[in-house]
A and B are shown apart, each in its own frame.
Chain A
Amino acid sequence: MRVLTRSGSAPATYQRSASAFRTPARSLSISAAVLLVAVLPQLLSPTNLGIANLASIAIVGAVALNMLTGMAGQVSLGQAAFLAIGAYTAVFTTVTLHANMFVGVPLAGISSAVVGMIIGVPSLRFRGFYLALTTLGLHFIALYVLQKYQVHAGGLAGFVLPVQHIGSRELLDDSDWYYPLALCAVIAIVFSFNVSRSRVGRAWVAVRDRDVAAAIIGVNVTRYKLLAFATSSFFAGCAGALAAYYRGNVSIESFSLDVAIAYVAMIIVGGLGSTAGAVMGAILITGLPFWLGNLVNSLPPGWPVVSHLALSIYALQSAAFGVVIVIFLIYEPRGLIAVWARVKTWLLLWPFQRAESEE
């Protein structure tokens, strides 16, 4: 019990300070999280398990974008384009190479990373809004090219992908997909978390905070910016391919600009720069439309307003999603992770916390 109630931690060595399991409480919470992920299929209803699967894919994508935008400070509206490139690489792997997802997902990552490197080149000159516009332009160009490919190779309606296997086991429903997708999410989380503790992660943060100063202390800005784009788009491509195999179909309409904004919303709602934040944001933003749908359905059905809302549920979901973005940016720009930090501080100081918070 003492490990949990002790206030603050004081690592005595640098190694300890950078350790993933810095405090006993953290080891405990990581073990609890792993346990939770392992038993989740037993706890959730089939619908919620489907949301969990979508959230796993979103976690891979959000963690990827967080490495680029949160850690390295490079604004990108091109996430939907990277997901699309991943998904269409999966299509290409199936249609042309006749290979399964164990080839398709890594290949999607690699092709997306190559495009990411190219898209990263303008970031050497631009930052902020100009970079956002550049990636916006590339979003439209990538979508145009992929649409041409779709019309050329598959027809207007898009592609249907075959059922995937692991060994001899077919991946048919949500419970079959849960562990493979959760494993991918865990890999992405562990990778991102370890990068943030490494030399590369520190270089990214230096570039984000002030690139000129980073260059002066010996960080190769060009290299690390391009590395950030490549790493991020690798994982984004993987996420796109995973989503394609999971859903079983690919069409260009599912990669609109709204998707790119949704991913930006995930990392902002979670807390920019924090892997744990990206995970929380991905879960929240993925679940939001479903929860809102349930909420509307649970309203008394007699009112005309309610039936109108139920009819236009799609528009309502997208509006709610904008409301979440705006509210977080106004009231908690540092995201859910800051809320968590405040709760933690409150608990650690209990019962000696001050009546008003210090900020």
Chain B
Amino acid sequence: MARVTSMIPTSTSTLEDQFGCIARGRNCGGGSPMREFLQATSDGVSLAAIYSLAAASFVVVYRATNVFNFAQGAFMLLGGYLTFEIVDRFGVSTPVAVVVSLLLMGLIGAGCYQAVLRPMTGQPVFAMIIVTMGISIIVVGLVGVVWGYSPRTLPDVLGDGQIALVGGARISYLNAASVGVSLSAVVGLMAFFRFAPLGLRMRAAAESPVLASRRLINVERVNMLAWALGAVLACLAGALLAMRVGIAPSMQSVGLRAFPVALIGGFDSLRGALIGGLIVALLQTYAAILWGAQVQDLVVFGSMLVILLIRPYGIFGTREVLRV
């Protein structure tokens, strides 16, 4: 596991612990409990932006292809590193690098579908899950081979400024921008699935590939585009993460948290990805304040188990009816 000493000089905490600490706010400690609570809420909301994007990446692939994609954490990682590499090597500004790496990740996502998922059409769900895990392992391994295990940080283009919110809480420009980007991306996607012809085709292809292909929908092309779109969203989440705390191979655990988010919201619901992201991020941030950074995974996956037991299809998801 990557040890980080350069970013917080006095501690030997891992990047993940630090992720929790920064989620607590730039000014850890100090201030009244009320102010700390508001600050945590503000940081939780901006964390939710990243979670929602990661979960939306999952939902898009699931909605269009009925495949549970375990690789989007790895795509996040790759997206973050690609953005870093483009900035580092070609000296372009971060927004340009993000756009380029979004396009690249779209190609990579489509390539993954063509190379791996398409030949596997018709295999059982379990095999599909494992093969996406296989993709994830390959991508994370290759990231390790190319970039090693030391963390990288993207320059924060928006500067160190902060916006004052109610009660003394603050939100950095970057975090405010992530919330904006994430919200507009997910709302845009909702509109896309509802109104755009391609979005409708994706839904049709997921509902019944056979019937969809009879209506002259090219199911394989639609699926490929869905994978591209999923990878693009994951890349966006990864780039935001890289700007926020930096990125290292161990950060794929942040990608894993997209499952609880998607599950709580409902696997096939983009609105659910937004709300689920908010719930998980706030729970995690408050828990980190109350009991320390180590409980984060426990709280996130614990709340997932609770939801699984009482409402397995999530808050906004479609109830699955199984006929025998």
Q: Is A212 an interface residue (CB 8 A)?
A: yes
CA gap between A321 and B135 in the complex, in Å: 10
Residues of A close to B134: CB separation below 8 A:
265, 322-323, 325-326, 329
Q: Is B302 an interface residue (CB 8 A)?
A: yes
Closest 6 CB pairs of A and B: A319-B141, A315-B144, A322-B137, A325-B134, A322-B138, A137-B301
Most chain B CB within a 10 A radius of its CB, from A136, A253, A258: A136
Q: Which residues in window 62-78 of A have CB below 8 A to B? A: 69, 75
Residues of B close to A322: CB separation below 8 A:
133-139, 141
| Chain A positions 281 through 296: 1 when the CB is less than 8 Å from some CB of chain B, otherwise 0 | 0000000000000000
| Chain B positions 98 through 141: 1 when the CB is less than 8 Å from some CB of chain A, otherwise 0 | 00000000000000000010011001011101110111111111
Q: Are B126's CB and A75's CB within 8 A?
A: yes
CB within 8 Å for A330 and B120 given contacts A144-B297, A318-B144: yes
Q: Are A330's CB and B116's CB within 8 A?
A: yes
Q: Are A133's CB and B294's CB within 8 A?
A: no
Residues of B close to A152: CB separation below 8 A:
none
- Using a CB–CB cutoff of 8 Å, the interface residues on chain A facing chain B are 69, 75, 122, 125-126, 128-130, 132-134, 136-138, 140-141, 144, 147, 212, 253, 257-258, 261, 264-265, 268, 308-309, 312, 314-323, 325-326, 329-330, 333
Q: Is B196 an interface residue (CB 8 A)?
A: no
Q: Are A140's CB and B297's CB within 8 A?
A: yes
Distance (Å) between the CB of A304 and the closest chain B CB?
13
Q: Are B126's CB and A140's CB within 8 A?
A: no
Q: Are A326's CB and B116's CB within 8 A?
A: yes
Q: Which residues in window 283-303 of B have CB below 8 A to A? A: 294-295, 297-298, 300-302
Q: Are A133's CB and B308's CB within 8 A?
A: yes
Residues of A close to B97: CB separation below 8 A:
none
Residues of A close to B143: CB separation below 8 A:
315
Q: Is B155 an interface residue (CB 8 A)?
A: no
Residues of B close to A129: CB separation below 8 A:
68, 125, 129
Q: Are B304's CB and A319's CB within 8 A?
A: no
Q: Are B259's CB and A147's CB within 8 A?
A: no
Q: Is B1 an interface residue (CB 8 A)?
A: yes
Give chain B's interface residue range (CB within 8 Å of chain A): 35 or more
Residues of B close to A122: CB separation below 8 A:
305, 308-309
Q: In terms of DSSP, what is the predominant structure of the interface of chain A?
A: helix
Contacting B148 at CB < 8 Å: which of A125, A312, A320?
Answer: A312
Residue of B nearest to A132 (CB): B129
**With contacts A126-B312, A333-B127 known, what are 5 further pairs, Cβ within 8 A?**
A253-B1, A312-B145, A322-B133, A323-B134, A330-B131
Residues of A close to B142: CB separation below 8 A:
315, 319
CA gap between A128 and B136 in the complex, in Å: 19
Distance (Å) between the CB of A309 and the closest chain B CB?
7
Q: Are B138's CB and A264's CB within 8 A?
A: no
Distance (Å) between the CB of A140 and the closest chain B CB?
4
Q: Are A326's CB and B259's CB within 8 A?
A: no
Residue of B nearest to A319 (CB): B141
Q: Are A329's CB and B127's CB within 8 A?
A: yes
CA gap between A128 and B1 in the complex, in Å: 30
Residues of A close to B119: CB separation below 8 A:
330
CA gap between A75 and B127 in the complex, in Å: 10
Residues of A close to B137: CB separation below 8 A:
258, 261, 318-319, 321-322, 325
Q: Can you sample 27 A-B contacts with CB below 8 Å? A: A128-B125, A132-B126, A134-B305, A134-B308, A137-B301, A137-B305, A137-B308, A141-B298, A144-B294, A144-B298, A258-B137, A261-B130, A265-B130, A265-B134, A268-B127, A312-B148, A315-B140, A315-B141, A315-B148, A319-B138, A319-B140, A320-B141, A321-B137, A322-B134, A329-B127, A329-B134, A330-B116
Distance (Å) between the CB of B5 and the closest chain A CB?
16
Q: Which residues in window 123-179 of B have CB below 8 A to A? A: 123, 125-127, 129-131, 133-145, 148-149
Q: Which residues in window 238-291 of B have CB below 8 A to A? A: 249, 256, 259-260, 263
Q: Is B216 an interface residue (CB 8 A)?
A: no
Residue of A nearest to B117 (CB): A330
Most chain B CB within a 10 A radius of its CB, from A69, A144, A147, A257: A144
Most chain B CB within a 10 A radius of its CB, from A75, A128, A315, A321: A315
Contacting A140 at CB < 8 Å: which of B123, B127, B301?
Answer: B301
Contacting B144 at CB < 8 Å: which of A144, A314, A323?
Answer: A314
CB within 8 Å for A130 and B295 given contacts A137-B304, A318-B144: no
Residues of A close to B135: CB separation below 8 A:
322, 326
Residue of B nearest to A210 (CB): B324
Q: Are B294's CB and A147's CB within 8 A?
A: yes
Residue of B nearest to A327 (CB): B134
| Chain B positions 179 through 213: 1 when the CB is less than 8 Å from some CB of chain A, otherwise 0 | 00000000000000000000000000000000000
CA gap between A257 and B300 in the complex, in Å: 16
Q: Are A323's CB and B138's CB within 8 A?
A: yes
Residues of B close to A329: CB separation below 8 A:
120, 123, 127, 130-131, 134
Distance (Å) between the CB of B218 and the closest chain A CB?
22
Distance (Å) between the CB of A70 and the closest chain B CB?
11
Most chain B CB within a 10 A radius of its CB, from A69, A125, A144, A326: A326
Residues of B close to A141: CB separation below 8 A:
298, 301-302, 305
Residues of A close to B138: CB separation below 8 A:
319, 322-323, 326
Q: Are A212's CB and B302's CB within 8 A?
A: no
Distance (Å) between the CB of A255 and the closest chain B CB?
13
Distance (Å) between the CB of B113 and the closest chain A CB?
13
Most chain B CB within a 10 A radius of its CB, from A137, A138, A141: A137
Residues of B close to A308: CB separation below 8 A:
145
CA gap between A212 and B322 in the complex, in Å: 11
Distance (Å) between the CB of B213 and the closest chain A CB?
22
Q: Are B140's CB and A125's CB within 8 A?
A: no
CA gap between A196 and B133 in the complex, in Å: 29
Q: Are B145's CB and A309's CB within 8 A?
A: yes
Residue of A nearest to B263 (CB): A133
Residues of A close to B297: CB separation below 8 A:
140, 144
CA gap between A60 and B324 in the complex, in Å: 36
Residues of A close to B133: CB separation below 8 A:
261, 264, 322, 325
